[in-house]
Amino acid sequence: MDSSFVNGRSVATAEGETGSTGRRVPLFSSHPKWRWFILTTVLIGAAMSALDVSIENIALPTLRSYYHVSLSLDEWVAMAYMLTLTIFLPLFGRLADMFGRAKMYNLGFIIFTIGSALCGVAPTMEFMIISRVIQATGGGLLQANSVAIITQSFPRCELGKAIGIQGAVQAISMAVGPFLGGLLIGLNLFGTQWRSIFYVNVPIGIIGTVAAFYILPVDKKNKTREKMDYIGCIAFAAALLFLVLALNEGRKLGWESDTILTYFVLFVVFFVVFIITEMKFSYPMMDFELYKIYDFAAGNITGFFSYYVLFGILFIMPFYLENIAHFSAFAAGAMLTPIPITMSLVAPIAGTLSDRYGPALMTSIGMLVCAVASFCLIFCGRNPDTALLVVEFTALGIGMGLFTPPNNSAVMSCVPEERLGSAGGILNMMRASGRVFGIDISGLIVTTMTAAYLGSRGFQHINLSAVPQEMRENGFMRGYVTVLITFTVLNFISAVLSVTKKGRAKMAVEHFLSE
């Protein structure tokens, strides 16, 4: 076996023999078209992990009835998956840099498949929640390494296109999750009832595992023996866990409750421990040196803002459409479908254009479009024009589609190859955090402003059902407008940060030279 330079990156070539790792080296790994087989394999994992972010939501009422549990326990089916993904993504990326991205991706397929099977046979709700944690661990290994493997396998002149395709697949998977979940539950295949939404992952996971073993590029041996930052990993995971718990439970328990205050104190303590550890450790879990790269720092900040806005809108708009505009639940869901659909259609195009013109142009335009869409949603009022709403949601999807693949490409292109796993883990963690905080903080703003408005009108400590409907709607609209204003501001800030990315000129020059 020798090493050659293929597709702009150093890769191992082989003639069907077994590598030093014991894995069989793909026979055609040096062929220029082999990278598309690699992308296809990565897309299987990306689709699976994205699908399970949303597919179980439709089954939560069914699970609650089946297990006869409280709503607070039922919510942990979704919460366990989301929390595990968010807090462990940087760790999984770091492990990939240390032990190999293909190994970790393959392990992700195996763990995810096992977790899905366990969810399907879960005899109790507690067993289900534990199984969801196992499933999310596999999903985290897939998500943390997918962009890194693509970046390693594609030349920069095609990287945006490849990441755009991945973004489109993820958007479609998240969009069809609730529909597919409802369909599988309704069909009741082989008498499995809700269990089929988990069983469906098992054959796909087995196919993905086999494909990853034979298709993904062989990992390079890490020349430096790096020690694991156990204290930093534990401190970061604990800090993020307590912060997310505080934001999620604050609305239920009250922000002044002892439990919530304890969560915030523990977050501060663990976060301080994490910062001190990372500054002293030779091989930290989160390499702060990466944040000295402007494109990396700006890309992660804007990635967080974009997911904050996207999932904040997906969270708050159903309340607006159903309670204020008086749409049915089905109509409200249908009204929001243009967002993921246009994202999936635009993402590959945006990725291809960013390969030619650089990421700064596409990301800044995308965020400006999102800013305009968010701004227009402020003025919907109580009797919105349906056609105008569809246009605004479509514009938001277009903006997100224009932004996401080029931004991911810019982040991953500016880091050293030996840190691609860490960079991918951080990028996905920032986006997952944006999803969590976008939902929680938007809900906090709306509930706080609604309560303040009703309190100023003499409706303090009164059950909302006893408050006149018009007053409830007025209170909600105040919070709604405030949330949309914050979304508009965040989108505009993202546009400014995006237009200053340094990668624009470099990628344009590289594209010119490649021709």
With pLDDT > 70 as the criterion, what percentage of the chain qualifies? 85
Q: In this structure, are 301 and 379 located in the same domain?
A: yes
Q: In this structure, are 18 and 136 located in the same domain?
A: yes
Task: Determine the pLDDT at residue 486.
Answer: 95
Q: In this structure, are 464 and 319 located in the same domain?
A: yes
Q: Is the pLDDT of residue 287 over 50?
A: yes
Q: What is the mean pLDDT of residues 17-38?
A: 58
Task: Determine the pLDDT at residue 71.
Answer: 67
Distance CA(45)–CA(38), nearest Å, equals 11
- CATH number of the domain to which 488 belongs: 1.20.1250.20
SS3 of 227-289: the string is CCCHHHHHHHHHHHHHHHHHHHHHHHHCCCCHHHHHHHHHHHHHHHHHHHHHHHCCCCCCCHH
Q: Is the pLDDT of residue 14 over 50?
A: no
Q: Is the pLDDT of residue 352 over 50?
A: yes
Q: In this structure, are 165 and 235 located in the same domain?
A: no
Q: How confident is the model at residue 5 (pLDDT cuts 50, 70, 90)?
A: very low
Distance CA(359)–CA(507), nearest Å, equals 8
Could you give the maximum distance between any two Cα atoms of the chain, in Å?
A: 79
Task: Determine the pLDDT at residue 504.
Answer: 44
Distance CA(182)–CA(396), nearest Å, equals 26
Q: Is the pLDDT of residue 513 over 50?
A: no
Distance CA(197)–CA(386), nearest Å, equals 33
Task: Determine the pLDDT at residue 463.
Answer: 63
Task: Determine the pLDDT at residue 462.
Answer: 59
Determine contact, residues 438/314, Cβ cutoff 8 Å. no
Q: pTM for the whole thing?
A: 0.78
Distance CA(33)–CA(357), nearest Å, equals 24
Q: In this structure, are 343 and 439 located in the same domain?
A: yes
- Which of 33-37, 56-60, 267-271, 436-440 is least confident? 56-60
Q: What is the mean pLDDT of residues 415-423?
A: 77
Q: How confident is the model at residue 301 (pLDDT cuts 50, 70, 90)?
A: very high
Q: In this structure, are 173 and 203 located in the same domain?
A: yes
Q: Is the pLDDT of residue 339 over 60?
A: yes
Distance CA(334)–CA(316), nearest Å, equals 15
The residue ranking higher by pLDDT, 140 or 485, is 485
Task: Determine the pLDDT at residue 190.
Answer: 60
Determine contact, residues 403/367, Cβ cutoff 8 Å. yes
- Which of 4-8, 198-202, 227-231 is least confident? 4-8
Contacts by residues 434-437 (CB-CB < 8 Å, ≥ 24 positions apart): 434/303, 434/304, 434/305, 434/306, 434/307, 434/308, 434/310, 434/311, 435/82, 435/307, 435/308, 435/310, 435/311, 436/82, 436/86, 436/244, 436/247, 436/248, 437/247, 437/308
Q: Is the pLDDT of residue 44 over 50?
A: yes
Q: Which amino acid is at 367?
A: M
Q: In this structure, are 436 and 372 located in the same domain?
A: yes
The residue ranking higher by pLDDT, 401 or 463, is 401
Determine contact, residues 180/55, Cβ cutoff 8 Å. yes
With pLDDT > 90 as the criterion, what percentage of the chain qualifies? 22
Note the pLDDT tens digit of each residue in 51-87. Answer: 877 777 667 778 888 888 876 677 788 778 888 888 8
Q: How confident is the model at residue 225 (pLDDT cuts 50, 70, 90)?
A: low
**Residue at which a domain ends, from 262, 282, 302:** 282
Alpha-carbon distances of 243 from 38, 227, 239, rounded to whole Å? 37, 28, 6
Q: How confident is the model at residue 226 (pLDDT cuts 50, 70, 90)?
A: low
CA angle 250, 144, 42 (to 5 degrees): 130
Distance CA(91)–CA(95), nearest Å, equals 6
Q: How confident is the model at residue 183 (pLDDT cuts 50, 70, 90)?
A: confident
Q: What is the mean pLDDT of residues 10-16?
A: 39
Structural domain containing residue 138: 1-224
Domain count, the chain: 3
Q: Is the pLDDT of residue 387 over 60?
A: yes
SS3 of 409-473: the string is HHHHHCCCHHHHHHHHHHHHHHHHHHHHHHHHHHHHHHHHHHHHHHHHCCCCCCCHHHCCHHHHH
The residue ranking higher by pLDDT, 192 or 364, is 364
Q: In this structure, are 366 and 506 located in the same domain?
A: yes
Q: Count Cα atoms within 13 angstroms, Cβ side, for 21.
A: 18
**Residue at which a domain ends, from 191, 206, 224:** 224
Residue 6 is classified by DSSP as E
Mean predicted lDDT score pLDDT of the chain: 81
Task: Determine the pLDDT at residue 107.
Answer: 92
Task: Determine the pLDDT at residue 410.
Answer: 85
**CA proximity to 369, closest of 430, 306, 283:** 306
The residue ranking higher by pLDDT, 421 or 37, is 37
Distance CA(239)–CA(483), nearest Å, equals 26
Q: In this structure, are 7 and 135 located in the same domain?
A: yes
**Residue at which a domain ends, from 224, 249, 264:** 224
Note the pLDDT tens digit of each residue in 489-506. Answer: 999 999 999 887 665 434
Task: Determine the pLDDT at residue 511.
Answer: 39
Q: In this structure, are 323 and 268 located in the same domain?
A: no
Q: In this structure, are 309 and 443 located in the same domain?
A: yes
Q: How confident is the model at residue 248 (pLDDT cuts 50, 70, 90)?
A: confident
Q: In this structure, are 304 and 214 located in the same domain?
A: no
**CA proximity to 96, closest of 130, 51, 45:** 45
